[in-house]
Amino acid sequence: EDKVVQSPLSLVVHEGDTVTLNCSYEVTNFRSLLWYKQEKKAPTFLFMLTSSGIEKKSGRLSSILDKKELFSILNITATQTGDSAVYLCAVPNYGGATNKLIFGTGTLLAVQP
């Protein structure tokens, strides 16, 4: 059965800290991995990773994929209180007709002032 596992489940840091969130996966027909940020309601898209070893970067956030070891990390540097959210990792299941997303449980990040 396809699965996506995230760690840690929750994390409390202080503003300015750097955090690393982990996502491992076991999915057949793997082609890509996505990171979403979920604040109050809708998951908002952060990154899509398809190639191993190529870092994607957006401001203080960056992410990388390792297709050999089947994991991805999401780094946030110089954290701010606005980074507090649940970070979701998801992998499309390309074995089906429409690439439904398989989500991990998420990592709840709380950034304290």
Partner 1 sequence: EPEVTQTPSHQVTQMGQEVILRCVPISNHLYFYWYRQILGQKVEFLVSFYNNEISEKSEIFDDQFSVERPDGSNFTLKIRSTKLEDSAMYFCASRDRGSMNTEAFFGQGTRLTVV
Binding stretches for partner 1 (CB under 8 A): 31-32, 34, 36, 41-45, 48, 50, 88, 90, 94, 96-106
In whole angstroms, the minimum distance from the beta carbon of 90 to partner 1 comes to: 8
In contact, 40 and 17? CB cutoff 8 Å? no
* CB of 44 or CB of 112, closer to partner 1: 44
Pairing of strands 10-14, 107-112: parallel
Residue closer to partner 1 by CB (options 48, 61) is 48
CB 33, min distance to partner 1, A: 10
Nearest to 112 by CA among 10, 19, 14: 14
- Residues 2, 50: contact at Cβ < 8 Å? no
